[in-house]
Amino acid sequence: MGNDDYKDKIEQARQELNKLALEHGMQDVRVLRQSVKLDALLNEYSDCNTEKDDQLY
């Protein structure tokens, strides 16, 4: 997946998280699940960029 694809998915996940938090409150299990999804995407994006940086050396 390319950087732009990750950025789009991350932004969609962030917007969904904000929407759920406003609708259901921060303690709702749906908010927690969406937060975990967003964290996973951010970690994948970070790992992808770290691997590219490592290849430069």
Q: Specify the pLDDT at position 22.
A: 98
Predicted pLDDT of residue 40: 97
Asked if residue 26 lies in contact with residue 18, where contact means CB atoms within 8 angstroms, the answer is no
pLDDT for the residue numbered 57? 54
Please give the pLDDT value at position 26. Answer: 96
Q: What is residue 3's predicted lDDT score, i.e. its pLDDT?
A: 84
Whole-number pLDDT of residue 29: 98
Helix, strand, coil shares of the chain as percentages rounded to 5? Answer: 85, 0, 15
Query: For residue 38, how many other CB atoms are within 10 A of its CB?
Result: 19
- Block means of pLDDT (10 residues each) for the chain, length 57 residues? 89 98 98 98 92 60
